[in-house]
């Protein structure tokens, strides 16, 4: 695990602005990172949007290490400790449940969340040849148990990138259902608020329906598919890790979302 804290301007103001406006927005489909990394503007950004982004990037001038933000210094150390303590367990769960090997490198861009009590994540990019992934985490300074909470969000975002890198789910399905909602609903049942979070000791144990209630409040757009997944996920929890969740769900009416390998 490799964290790369990234600060734009004074006290993360530019970092948050860039993340909120040009990375987390679903319209850009995680292509902004490629635009920055390859210096090749994707068509999904208009000329004005790209110009605004470059203007913000031109103002980058304060590295986090020289700012000496004690919260982020403590956060980085805490995340490293939680990850190093649980690295083998995390890898085993991800392999047994989702069928994925851990990437060789995970680069995490940390910023301060707009909410002081919430942490969130957003996928950026992956490099299949190098077996590496890149994503962002926004951390609220008043998040309860922030080391564990942020690690749970880290694993959620890591799984998103592993799904994309392995081509596990279809990008389009018949009908009007968004496959992204299926992906979010499935992962939400496991982490950050769910079965995997519990098994890793990152979240307190609750009934699956209780986790669903909290996840639905945070992600209403996926509630319809989450409702349909509730009973299958409860069934899967009884045979957790014996087969991958994808094979399990494919036999229970969700095959249209899953690519056969």
SS (H, E, C) the chain: CEECCCCCCHHHHHHHHHHHHHHCCHHHCCCHHHHHHHCCCCCCCCHHHHHHHHHHHCCCCCCHHHHCCHHHHHHHHHHHHHHHHHHHHHHHHHHHHHCCCCCCEEEEEEEECCCCCCCEEEEEEEECCCCEEEEEEEECCCCCCHHHHHHHHHHHHHHHHHHHHHCCECCCCCCCCCHHHHHHHHHHCCCCCCHHHHHCCCCCCCCHHHHHHHHHHHCHHHHHHHHHHHHHHHHHHHCCCCCCHHHHHHHHHHHHHECCC
Q: What CA–CA distances, in Å, run from 37 to 31, 34, 49, 69?
A: 10, 5, 17, 27
Residues 236, 162 share a domain: no
Total structural domains in the chain? 2
pLDDT computed for residue 247 by the predictor: 97
Does residue 234 belong to any structural domain of this protein? yes
Residues 239, 117 share a domain: no
Residues 117, 56 share a domain: yes
Residues 26, 151 share a domain: yes
Residues 40, 141 share a domain: yes
Residues 54, 147 share a domain: yes
Among 115, 132, 166, residue at a domain's last position: 166
Residues 142, 231 share a domain: no
Residues 203, 98 share a domain: no
Does residue 184 belong to any structural domain of this protein? yes
Q: How many other CB atoms are found less than 10 A from the CB of residue 13?
A: 15
Does residue 9 belong to any structural domain of this protein? yes
Does residue 238 belong to any structural domain of this protein? yes
Residues 206, 139 share a domain: no
Does residue 171 belong to any structural domain of this protein? no
Residues 189, 125 share a domain: no
- The tens-digit pLDDT sequence of the chain (261 residues) is 333 334 333 444 555 566 566 555 555 544 555 555 544 545 556 777 777 777 766 665 544 444 567 777 788 888 888 899 999 999 999 999 999 999 988 877 777 666 656 677 776 667 787 788 877 777 777 666 678 888 898 899 899 989 989 999 998 887 766 788 999 999 999 998 899 999 999 988 899 999 999 889 888 888 999 999 999 999 999 999 999 999 999 999 999 999 975
Q: Which two tokens stand for residue 260?
A: 């056969």
Does residue 249 belong to any structural domain of this protein? yes
pLDDT computed for residue 172 by the predictor: 85
Q: Could you tell me the pTM of the whole model?
A: 0.75
Does residue 173 belong to any structural domain of this protein? no
Tell me the C-alpha distance between 153 and 136, whole Å: 10
Among 166, 189, 210, residue at a domain's last position: 166
Residues 198, 73 share a domain: no
Residues 201, 114 share a domain: no
Does residue 172 belong to any structural domain of this protein? no
pLDDT computed for residue 6 by the predictor: 41
What are residue 134's DSSP bridge partners? 107, 125
Tell me the C-alpha distance between 164 and 176, whole Å: 21
Q: How many other CB atoms are found less than 10 A from the CB of residue 224?
A: 15
pLDDT computed for residue 256 by the predictor: 93
Q: Is the sign of the CA dihedral 19, 21, 22, 23 positive or negative?
A: positive
pLDDT computed for residue 148 by the predictor: 85
**Domain extent at residue 220:** 179-257
């Amino acid at each position: 695990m490799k964290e790369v804290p990234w600060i734009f301007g004074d006290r993360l103001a530019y970092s948050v602005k860039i993340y909120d406006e040009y990375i987390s927005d679903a319209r850009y489909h995680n292509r902004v990172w490629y635009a920055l990394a390859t210096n090749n503007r994707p068509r999904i950004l208009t000329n004005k949007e790209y110009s605004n982004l470059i203007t913000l990037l031109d103002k980058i001038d304060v590295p986090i290490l020289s700012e000496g933000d004690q919260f982020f210094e403590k956060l980085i150390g805490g995340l490293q400790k939680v990850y190093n303590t649980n690295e083998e367990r995390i890898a085993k769960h991800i392999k047994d449940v989702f069928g994925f090997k851990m990437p060789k490198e995970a680069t995490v861009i940390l910023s301060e969340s707009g909410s002081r009590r919430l942490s969130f994540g957003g996928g950026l990019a992956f490099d299949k040849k190098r077996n590496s992934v890149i994503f962002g985490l926004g951390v609220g300074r008043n998040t309860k148990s922030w080391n564990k909470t942020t690690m749970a969000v880290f694993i959620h975002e890591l799984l998103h990138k592993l799904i994309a890198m392995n081509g596990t789910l279809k990008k389009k399905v018949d009908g009007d259902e968004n496959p992204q909602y299926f992906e979010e609903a499935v992962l939400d049942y496991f982490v950050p608020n769910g079965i995997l979070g519990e098994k890793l000791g990152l979240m307190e144990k609750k009934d699956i329906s209780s986790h669903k209630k909290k996840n639905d409040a945070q992600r209403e757009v996926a509630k319809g598919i989450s409702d349909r997944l509730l009973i299958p996920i409860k069934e899967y929890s009884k045979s957790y890790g014996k087969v991958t969740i994808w094979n399990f769900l494919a036999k229970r009416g969700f095959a249209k979302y899953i690519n056969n390998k």
